[in-house]
Amino acid sequence: MNRTFKTVASSDISISELMLPSNTNFSGKIHGGYILSLLDQIAFACASKFSGNYCVTASVDTVNFLKPIEVGELVTMKASVNFVGNSSMIVGIRVEAENIQTGKIKHCNSSYFTMVAKNSEGKSTLVPGLILSNMKDVRRYFNCIKQVSLKKEQNIHEEVFDYTSEESLESLKKYNVKLEL
C-alpha cells in the first residue's frame, strides 16, 4: 500500500472563544483545567482532520502556562500536526488571548499532544506522511524528533533505574526531602 502525504498546512485549525466568569478559578483567572479541555478538543480536531480518522489522546507531552487568561478576553487556539509516526501525530498548539477592548494579544500557552488515529474497529491505523513546505515546518519537525527521543530515553531510564540502591538514595540528600524509610 502506498502512503499518502499531506502538508502541515492541511492540518491547520483554530478555535476562538470568549472567556466567561463561569470558567474562572479561585483567583479569578481562567481555570487551567478549562484550557486543558479546550486544548484536547482542538488536538482531536486537528489530528482527525489530518488523518481522516477518529483520534484519541495518547499523551499530553507539554503544557506551558505562560500568562494568565482574564475573564472577557478572546482566546484563540491554533493547532497543526508537527510530526507523524505510523499511527501517531504530535499536534502543536499555540494559545493567545486578546483583550477585545484594546486589541492587545498575549501568548498564554504552548502545548504538544500526541494523538493516535483509530480505524472503525478501534485499532491504530496508518496516518498520512507529512510534507514540510517551509523552514518553520522543518524546525517544528526537528523539535518533535528531539521530544520523541527524550521521551524514549526517559522510558528506558525508568525501566533500568534502580531507585532502591544505596547510591540512588544517597543522591536524594541534595534535594529538599527527608527520608524516613
pLDDT at 155 over 80: no
* 99-111 pLDDT tens trace: 999 999 999 999 9
Percent of the chain with pLDDT over 90: 80
When comparing pLDDT for 150 and 93, which is higher? 93
The predicted pLDDT at position 157 comes to 65
Mean pLDDT, residues 111-117 = 98
| Whole-number pLDDT of residue 1 | 56
Residue 159's region, left for phi above 0, alpha for psi from -120 to 50, else beta, is alpha
Q: Decide: 144 and 81 in contact? Cβ < 8 Å.
A: no
Task: State the pLDDT confidence band at 160, using cuts at 50, 70 and 90.
Answer: confident
Strand partners, 9: none
pLDDT reading at 46 higher than 60? yes
C-alpha cell at 112: 504538544
Reported residue count of the chain is 181
Question: Tens digit of pLDDT for each residue in 77-101?
Answer: 999 999 999 999 999 999 999 999 9
The CATH H-level (homologous superfamily) assignment of domain 5-132 is Hotdog Thioesterase (3.10.129.10)
Which segments of 6-62 does DSSP mark as H helices, in order? 32-51
Strand 129-131 to strand 5-7: parallel, antiparallel, or no bridges (unpaired)? parallel
Instruction: Answer yes or no: pTM beyond 0.95.
Output: no
pLDDT, position 179: 83
Residue 85 three-state SS: coil
Q: Is the pLDDT of residue 123 over 80?
A: yes
Greatest pairwise CA separation for the chain in angstroms: 60
Q: Which residues pair with 63 in a beta bridge?
A: 111
Name 59's bridge partners: 114
Alpha-carbon span 39 to 113, nearest angstrom: 9
> 91 or 170: which carries more pLDDT confidence?
91
Report which of residues 160 and 72 the model is more confident about.
72
Q: If you count DSSP H runs as helices and E runs as strands, how many of each does the chain have, helices first?
A: 3, 7
